[in-house]
Amino acid sequence: MFAYHHQKIITDLFTLSQAKDLREGDFSLTLTEQNRPSVSITLSIHASSAAAMPETIPETLDDPDQPTESPQPVIRTYYTSPYLLKEWHARLFHDSPTKERLFLLSGIPRGKNAYILDALIPVKLVNASATGVEPDLADLFATLHNLDKSYGLLLLGIIHSHLWTGRDAVNPSGIDRALQNTLEESGYPTVQAIFSEDGYCGFFANTIPFTLQIAGKGFEEVETHETQTVVKLHNIPHLSDQTIQIEKPTGASVLRSPNAYPRV
């Protein structure tokens, strides 16, 4: 009874029209029983003004009907030079091949998600024809293992040739797209490049956006998209010009490949 009776008194006090004075500031309140003046209770109350009270920010709930923002894809940057592109072209089309050729690409990191493409790596080929080529899987895996364990290098790309000319020659085929899809789903965020006989070079990926930075002269940019870049190399010799004539001491002419000369 005692607790309830005084609780009601306090509640009544705070409902009076003057309750604002009780709700704001520091004050003390002493209550005494009329029949028992020796029994009393003293309350000391500190109340902050409403303006000083922190505002409650309503919690926002995710609306399942609203589309959520997808994380932005990582954009890779590849660096190379026209000199290297021409070297790769020469390796792909040396001796006027009648079958497609293929090489692996690697290189060194240049910051986060950036790489210098400067290592051309041979791999054994199977099922090579005028319209397609495949790496030997056993040799491919052995080569990748050796790159990683012996040199700390990663597979960064694959290049191969298409044995015809023009811009359309470097469009990826369905087989090329399928290989790229396998690489990306297997955790190899690589780029592929297709070279034509007359110097077109098309870099592409399926879902991984990239930029290609070519430092130097001797090329022109044909087109650039999020997952494809096409360039045209200048002064690419015709395939029939890739052999030169030399004379024997007797004067008889023979055909000799340019790379038959030792490098200096």
Neighbouring C-alpha atoms within 13 Å toward the C-beta of 248: 5
CATH of domain 76-241: 3.40.140.10
Task: Please state the φ and ψ torsions of residue 39, each to the nearest 5 degrees.
Answer: -105, 125
DSSP structure class, residue 122: -
Q: Is 175 helix (H, G, I), strand (E, B) or coil?
A: helix
For the record, the structure tokens of 210 come out as 């990239």
What share of the chain has pLDDT > 70, as a percent?
63
Q: Taking the model in full, what pTM does it have? A: 0.65
Q: Does position 147 have pLDDT exceeding 80, yes or no?
A: yes
Residues 16-39 pLDDT 10s: 444 444 445 555 545 555 555 555
- pLDDT (tens digit per residue) in 3-13: 444 444 444 44
Residue 180 burial (CB count, 10 A):
22
Give the residue range(s) of CATH 3.40.140.10 domains in the chain: 76-241
